[in-house]
Amino acid sequence: MSAQIPFDNSYARLPAGFFAQVAPAIVDEPELIKVNRALAADLGIDADMLESPEGVEMLAGKRLPEGAEPIAMAYAGHQFGHFVPQLGDGRAILLGEVVDRAGRRRDLQLKGAGRTPFSRGGDGRAALGPVMREYIVSEAMAALGVPTTRALAAVTTGEAVYRDTLLPGAVLTRVASSHIRVGTFQYFAAQGDEAALRALSAHAIARHYPDAAAADNPYLALIGGVVARQAELVARWLNLGFIHGVMNTDNMAISGETIDYGPCAFLDAYHPSTVFSAIDRQGRYAYANQPGIALWNLTRLAETLLTLIDSDEEAAIAKAREALSGFSDRFNAAYLAGLRAKLGLAEARDGDLELAQDLLDRMAAQSADFTLTFRRLCDAADGEAGDAKVRSLFADPSAFDAWAQRWRARLAEEGEPAGERSAAMRRVNPAFIPRNHRVEAAIVAAVEHQDFAPFEALLAVLARPYDDQPEHAAFADAPRAEERVTQTFCGT
């Protein structure tokens, strides 16, 4: 492993209008919070070098690594349904790309490293709390097996940022298979810049959907590819109780990775209309709205490519509609397959969705904890002795009993040995998710007491979400009434 970062920056080779060249801000006294050593190894970057004084300066944007070409990417976006023709990286700087050990191209981006031409009124900075939240939740998602951007490192800057009060400033080094968003396409479409849309599509196809290059209509194949990946992604979110919180088109990645962890949160008690984000007053991005919003966003993507799909507008619309129509089937199939696995059903039968929905309805009515219900169901799959701990999660425990009878009758139709079934269930129903109250506690300890021990402890547990880890059982607990977090906030 070399002491250098082997950059190869393909986005910076795109036409000038795609980005602005920028220089990160020079901060006072950066200090290391954490380097993700396993991820550094995957990327072929020397973790010891990142932890050295020079490395910490790089992670804070104070020193540019050789080969970096810092740019802020241009993009537009629909924010809560309202189109903004120019957003862009206002507090993020793309250092460049590396090809990882598995041959995958990955972006290295500093989030919170200072102002860019896209900062508008913002300061280009990030506060420590949101940096920690993104680090914790994105790494938890990766360990859960969900496509996501990653956190390579976090540092404090030694400078304060003002967010109603003064808070410690921090920088997150984000790794993504790219930072191309639905909003990137919208940016050029809004300018009527067809040449740029062609170049962007070619770049996105080469990077993420190489098979589309040989398709009869590469633009349609690109849309179809993004539709499929987003359908699978949002199904995973729902199966795990994840709420993104700000599914604006600028926060939806063409790669199919979860991106931009702002006011995101996992459900504690299950309810489909749950919203945590303080700014989502209409519930646009509520838990159960996420598939519909994903399709809405993908429709905005398809619109940007209509003139390239077919010179005849009506024909283009018909073809785009067809590509988008794949979303619902793909989502429904992935979501149902996920539910079957959660319930321990190895075979597909009619009525499975209704069986799962019946449980979810009872959970919603009885405020049952989402993650604990499914995890404890793994024990119930081993025998009725396990039922007591599931039913105790329901406000009226008898609400579980009628459903459990139905479930057992359905399980009995399959020949799978109980031990294998419950083991398979434990591989899809996590014991540990980044519970909001745990994330908050880790942030408070760091911000108020410079104590990063709770952050480290939480990360260690979340790295193995499907293992019981009895010594850390408390991390699986639902919040007590006084610990419950009901609102989360954007990083801005």
Binding residues (CB under 5 A) for Mg ion: these are 251, 260
Residue 271 interaction partner, one of ligand AMP, Mg ion, none, beta carbon < 5-8 Å per kind? none
Please give the Cα distance from 267 to 370 (Å, whole number). 7
Q: Please select the residue that binds ligand AMP; options are 178, 251, 371, 422, rule is CB under 6 A.
A: 251
Is 490 near ligand AMP (CB under 6 A)?
yes
Q: Please select the residue that binds ligand AMP; options are 61, 262, 344, 434, rule is CB under 6 A.
A: 262
Is 89 near ligand AMP (CB under 6 A)?
yes
Q: Please select the residue that binds ligand AMP; options are 124, 129, 241, 434, rule is CB under 6 A.
A: 124
Q: Please select the residue that binds ligand AMP; options are 246, 298, 301, 356, rule is CB under 6 A.
A: 246
Which residues carry out catalysis? Answer: 250
CB of 106 to Mg ion, least distance (A): 18
Residue 239 interaction partner, one of ligand AMP, Mg ion, none, beta carbon < 5-8 Å per kind? none
Is 88 near ligand AMP (CB under 6 A)?
yes
CA dihedral (164, 243, 262, 226) in degrees, to 10, reads -150
Q: Which lies closer to ligand AMP via its Cβ, residue 119 or residue 332?
A: 119
Residue nearest to Mg ion (CB): 260
Q: Which lies closer to ligand AMP via its Cβ, residue 87 or residue 295?
A: 87
Task: Choose the binding region for ligand AMP from 94-102, 115-123, 293-301, 360-368 (rule: CB under 6 A).
Answer: 115-123
Residue 88 interaction partner, one of ligand AMP, Mg ion, none, beta carbon < 5-8 Å per kind? ligand AMP
Please give the Cα distance from 152 to 449 (Å, whole number). 24
Q: Which lies closer to ligand AMP via its Cβ, residue 454 or residue 491?
A: 491
Residues making contact with ligand AMP (CB under 6 A): 87-91, 118-119, 122-125, 246, 250-251, 260, 262, 490-492
